[in-house]
Every structure is written in C-alpha cells, then in structure tokens.
C-alpha cells in the first residue's frame, strides 16, 4: 500500500472533528462515500456501522496513535474485497491517546479484507516508516490542498 496511489478524494486536508472517535466516524463516512462513488453502488448502512464498531473496538484496546502526531486506525472487514484507505489531517490536532501523549495531526485509516489479514502488518510498517521522517510531516503540515498533500506522498513514494 502506497499513499502516493491515493486519489484526491481519499485525502481530507482539514478534518472537522476534534475527538478521536468522531474523527474515525468522519473518516469512515467519507471513505464509504468515496467507495460508493467509485464502485457505483450503495453500501448498506450496516457495513458502515460494523466498520466503525470494529475500528472503535480496536481503538479501545490500545490507541493507534503511534506518536509524532500520527495515528493509524485500522480494522478488518468481511464486507470489502480490497483494502480501503483514507488520509485525514487536523491542523489543530486531535487527542488520540497517542503513545507520546501528543496531539495527532495525521490519520491514515485503513480497512483490510478479512481474507487478506496478513496485509495489515505490511501496511502498518510502510505507513509508520513514512511518518518517522520529520521532513515529510513538516511538508504535509504545510500542504494547502488535497493535491499538495498527494504531491508530498508522490515525492516521497517508495518503489518496490
């Protein structure tokens, strides 16, 4: 999974929510809106609710705030066939109970099909590695638009 392959519609330059569970809800809603547009289908509300429940249950066990202003909420689903990803940014910051107790500014939420369970570890590692670089976090903080954020991901894309 490479964030450089996201479509602009999968990037939220300024999240409206300020609470971590509200942020997850906001991102899930926007992600499913995007999936419905791309697939030209209407997904049942139950799938969205189950996805949100899976994400919040995961978050209640242990925060996905990995530090340095980054959170990676993720869950598994039997209702999707391909990994689904959305990136959100909060300039103000969101209290995410991160390991370093600092607010989170960058959230990469992804849902992995249950059949591809193994894929989540590779995805987590790739995202964490990208965001360990302070120069990338600074560029993302300064980016103004979806396209600017996407340009940062493309600039720092890892081939392979």
Which residues are part of the catalytic machinery? Answer: 74
Is 89 within 8 Å of 149 (Cβ atoms)? yes
Joined tokens for residue 96: 């995410």
Cβ neighbourhood burial of 116 (10 Å; 0-12, 13-18, 19+): middle
């Amino acid at each position: 999974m490479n964030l450089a392959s996201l479509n602009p519609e999968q990037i939220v330059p300024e999240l409206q929510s300020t609470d971590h569970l509200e942020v997850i809800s906001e991102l899930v809603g926007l992600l499913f809106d995007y999936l419905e547009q791309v697939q030209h289908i209407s997904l049942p509300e139950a799938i969205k609710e189950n996805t949100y429940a899976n994400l919040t249950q995961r978050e209640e066990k242990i925060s996905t705030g990995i530090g340095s202003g980054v959170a990676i909420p993720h869950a598994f689903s039997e209702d999707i066939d391909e990994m689904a990803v959305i990136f959100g940014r909060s300039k103000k910051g969101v209290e995410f109970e991160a390991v370093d107790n600092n607010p989170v500014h960058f959230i990469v939420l992804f849902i992995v099909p249950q059949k591809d369970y193994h894929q989540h570890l590779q995805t987590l590692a790739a995202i964490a590695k990208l965001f360990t670089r302070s120069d990338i976090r600074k560029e993302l903080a300064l980016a103004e638009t979806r396209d600017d954020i996407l340009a940062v991901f493309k600039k720092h894309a890892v081939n392979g």
